[in-house]
Amino acid sequence: MYWTFGFSLLFLFMLSYPPTAYTIQGRDGPITFSTSMGLWPFVVTLFALGFFMSLGKAAVFKHIPVYYPKHVGAVGGLVGMIGGLGGFVLPIAFGALLDLTGIYTSCFVLLFALVAIALAWMHLSIRAMERAAQGEALDRLPELPEMQAIHNPERTAMPRVLEDWRPEDAQFWANRGRAVARRNLWISIPALLLAFSVWMV
């Protein structure tokens, strides 16, 4: 999540910076130059932003049972509700900001502020929860605790985890690997078809 928020802040800053003209008083007179983003840099930056944001969306639901094991349903519903409200409120806020400022990149400024608040909130919440859970041991942790494997694997591991996977071994492939690969293939194909159909809509 730190990587997701960090790169999102970087790309949103690039997108939120409006086309600007500068005039510097030089020795031989004023020096004028401008900064603006062309079409293809804008498209590439937007796709990169969408890629890193898509990584964070799945991670949100992964962290719910880790940090709120007794309130998975309530927290999951709250996350879904906020996501649904975002699709309703944000377009209205984008239009209001454009009317107030007259700057087309003001929508990215709002997203930059929201991501910055979310990053600070997440970091402070993680530090507070883990300080309450481990006390003085947290003083030896780095500033970004999620970068270090400090959680108990038994709490986050799925009940059926594939611990041995050697597809290049012919005997293993014949005894177990082929069945696992075929099962995963049949599970993933309908999920991918459903995802692409929803995406096309």
Rounded distance between C-alpha atoms, residue 65 and residue 166, angstroms: 30
User: What mean pLDDT is reported for the chain?
Assistant: 79
Could you give the 3-state DSSP secondary structure of residue 143? Answer: coil
Across 15-29, 143-157, 174-188, least confident range: 143-157
Structure tokens at 11: 């790309």
In the block, tokens 């309703």 appear at 88
Assign 201 to helix, strand or coil.
coil
Beta strands in 17-114 (DSSP E): 20-26, 29-35
Q: For 88-122, write each residue's pLDDT tens digit.
A: 888 899 999 999 999 889 999 999 999 999 889 88
pLDDT for the residue numbered 99:
93
Cβ contact 21:34 at 8 Å:
yes
- Tell me the C-alpha distance between 129 and 113, whole Å: 24
Return the domain boundaries, the chain. 2-151, 162-201
CB 177 within 8 A of CB 170: no
Through-space distance between the first and last CA atoms of the chain, rounded to whole angstroms:
28
Let me know if 8 is exposed, middle or buried by CB neighbors in 10 A (0-12, 13-18, 19+): buried
pLDDT on residue 149:
55
Secondary element (H or E) of residue 133: helix 106-134
52 contacts: CB under 8 Å, gap ≥ 6: 3, 4, 7, 8, 11
| pLDDT, mean of residues 166-176 | 83
